[in-house]
Amino acid sequence: MKILAIESSCDETAAAVVEDGTNILSNVINTQIELHKLYGGVVPEIASRKHIENISAVVDKALDDCNLTFEDIDAVAVTYGPGLVGALLVGVSYAKGLSYSLDKPLIPVHHIKGHICANYLENPDFKPPFICLVASGGHSHIIYVKSYFEYDVIAKTNDDAAGEAFDKVSRVLGFGYPGGPQIQKAAESGNKYAINFPRVNMGSNGFDFSFSGVKTSVLNYIHNAEQKGIEINKNDIAASFQQAVVDVLSDHLIKAAEQYCVDRIALAGGVASNIPLRETISDKAAEKKFEFCYPRSILCTDNAAMIGCAGFYEYQNGNIADLSLNAYANLDI
């Protein structure tokens, strides 16, 4: 089964063709990062307009890259939430038009489910049940993946997502957007033990996240140093901040797996590209004898291949939409 998948939830216009859930035939991503850098973050109106400009060419390239035509496609999958609603509407509207004109099934895909399914693309032998940490600019969730169709949210953030905290701290340090790669690069030259930024546990089970505290702690540290005329070491701040976030994310994931008696864990989302996070979880997983899976970087960022994979399993579960499908900024998994 060949699925044409479309992703437009934020600032990447993406299309892919995925066969039978795990075989990527093409994967095209048109990113707007350079444009949004000028504003220090994603501007929703600009993102939506750029999706409109780019989506037809991106879809055409996805088909051209695997020498297929629209007639060769068996179904159309599309992200319908959560995300920037204007951006989502571009992808949803385009997918609905394709589905109608081609008389092909329309498969609605939850963005977070897509990120989780990127692990199946990385390793088709990695199967549920497992506990997955989804960390990105808009999400920080721990999810119990019971099967290809069943997802239970164990924990989520009470304020800033991990990626959002990276972006805000990077902006304050003058590193720019996007913050994750900038913080990681600066941290390589810093001392991660130089500053003891707070690690916060939230929720009745202790698994929920809160990153506003560590972000505020960084801001206060910089402000206090400036007030006293003390020169700050930006690399040390970046390394110490990054370590605080990595400690919390990795600890919560491991503890959740232990509590739910699951010996397989996974990582997903844009923050999953962070090398110290991968290495820390890998070390802790080895200690516990857990199987650990994470996608390659190109599958961590927003992409349509993951939507095609998730769409395959949604189709198997009978999740087919009609032309009334809408886009949703907020959407429970």
Q: Is 139 annotated as a binding residue?
A: no
Q: What is the mean pLDDT of residues 258-277?
A: 97
Q: Mean pLDDT score of the chain, rounded to an integer?
A: 96
Q: Is 141 annotated as a binding residue?
A: no
Q: What is the CATH number of domain 129-295?
A: 3.30.420.40
Q: Is 111 annotated as a binding residue?
A: yes
Per-residue pLDDT tens for 58-105? 999 999 999 999 999 999 999 999 999 999 999 999 999 999 999 999
% of residues, the chain, pLDDT over 70: 99
Query: Is the per-residue pLDDT at 186 higher than 60?
Result: yes
What is residue 206's predicted lDDT score, i.e. its pLDDT? Answer: 78
The closest of 183, 190, 205 to 137, measured between CA atoms, is 183
The closest of 331, 319, 313 to 149, measured between CA atoms, is 313
Q: Is 274 annotated as a binding residue?
A: yes
Q: Is 43 annotated as a binding residue?
A: no
User: Which value, in Å, is the radius of gyration of the alpha carbons in the chain?
Assistant: 20
Whether 2-115+300-316 and 129-295 share one fold: the answer is yes
Q: Where are the beta strands (DSSP E) in the chain?
A: 2-7, 12-19, 23-31, 75-81, 106-110, 130-135, 140-145, 151-156, 264-268, 291-293
d(CA 105, CA 320): 7
What is residue 203's predicted lDDT score, i.e. its pLDDT? Answer: 54
d(CA 163, CA 176): 13
Query: Is the per-residue pLDDT at 40 higher than 60?
Result: yes
What is residue 204's predicted lDDT score, i.e. its pLDDT? Answer: 57
Query: Is the per-residue pLDDT at 324 higher than 80?
Result: yes
Query: Is the per-residue pLDDT at 202 higher than 90?
Result: no
Dihedral of the alpha carbons of 128, 132, 136, 141, in degrees to the nearest 10: 120
Query: Is the per-residue pLDDT at 25 higher than 70?
Result: yes
Q: Is 206 annotated as a binding residue?
A: no
Per-residue pLDDT tens for 224-245? 999 999 999 999 999 999 999 9
Domain spanning 2-115+300-316, CATH class:
alpha beta
d(CA 127, CA 45): 38
CB 6 within 8 A of CB 55: yes
Q: Is 322 annotated as a binding residue?
A: no
Per-residue pLDDT tens for 209-222? 999 999 999 999 99
> Domains of the chain: which residue ranges?
2-115+300-316, 129-295
Q: Is 180 annotated as a binding residue?
A: yes
Q: Is 138 annotated as a binding residue?
A: yes
